[in-house]
Amino acid sequence: MICPKCGFEQPDGAECARCGVILSRYKGLGAPPPPPPPLAGPVFESPALAGAGTVYDGPASIGGGTVYQGPPPGSPVPAPGTFRRTFGVGEVLGETFSIYFANLLPFTLLTALALAPAYALIFLVGRAPQASMLVIVSGLLLGLVSILASNIATGAITFGVFQQLRGKDASIGECLSRGLSLLLPVFGLAFVQSLAIGVAMLACLVPGIMLAVRWAVSVPAAVTEGTGVSNSMQRSSFLTDGMRWDVFGVLFVLGVIQIGATLLVNLVVGNPTLVLLLTGVKNLLVVGLSATGSAVMYYRLRSLKESIDVDQIASVFG
């Protein structure tokens, strides 16, 4: 078999051993050129070389236009699985936990930055007189800010996740710098997405869950691809298409962890200050873990569907 992209001759398989393109999903704009005409007259083959090689071994000349942006022909043969990862609930969760706890300090700081407005509102509500208008307004704002916080934290943590996937350290300074630069662009997407999911949840639980699964990787898409609100949600819909039960499984496990942590905090009674402190710690861990999971899902979905490597995804960060 000859790869239609790079012309590498190899045994039959699902992907090219040289350039890593998935053969069944290759979408070139032009068809490969016809094979060269047979040579006139007999072809001499020495006994030592009989059966080895082909008459034509030059590079294939075909049209471009594929979603694959891997190394050019002639590059070293990549290791199996470099450009294509599998997507399973256990694999995604395992990589999520590994990356998060390996970068616990910087990711916790980024999450704390995203949750800072929510913590300020909690403090304000706690000091205000009960049943006052300030408590009611602050409570409504707190619910909105809490929904937005996880998406903002996802945008901030995405850089650190990709650095870890590339085998590089995600320093606190770099993560904070990237996180601050991405907070404002992600805010609009987080607001629109959270509002739509919230309205769908109020109307009926199932549509809200479906939207949450469909848009599970919209924030990492906005951060790494620079797409707007609508395009980021469409991009997430494309990437999750066909894999939404697995995405739901990841979100379900992370949701169970959040509910379990909340129940544990609620067991503490008689000490409001301790409850407030434990709630803050719980939110830091749960939101940061969910943000890491979203970035890992985005990487694996792109790797699976588009045969793209993490270095190419992270190239946007410079």
Higher pLDDT, 276 or 26: 276
Higher pLDDT, 296 or 137: 296
Least confident piece of the model among 7-21, 85-99, 119-133:
119-133
Hey, is 32 helix, strand or coil?
Answer: coil
Strand partners, 15: 22
Mean pLDDT over 74-85 rounds to 45
pLDDT for 77 beyond 60: no
Average model confidence (pLDDT) for the chain? 74
Q: Which residues of 110-149 are buried (b: 16+ CB within 10 A; e: fewer)?
A: bbbbbbebbbebbeebeebeeeeeebeebeeebebbbbbb
Mean pLDDT over 55-68 rounds to 45
Give the distance, in angstroms, between the CA of residue 249 and the centroid of all CA atoms in the same chain.
Answer: 15
Label each residue of 115-147 as H, E or C.
HHHHHHHHHHHHHCCCCCHHHHHHHHHHHHHHH
pTM, full prediction: 0.66
The sign of the dihedral angle between the CA atoms of 107, 110, 114, 120 is positive
Burial of 155 (0-12, 13-18, 19+ CB in 10 A): buried
pLDDT in tens, 20-61: 777 666 654 444 555 555 555 554 444 444 444 444 444 444
pLDDT for 130 beyond 70: no
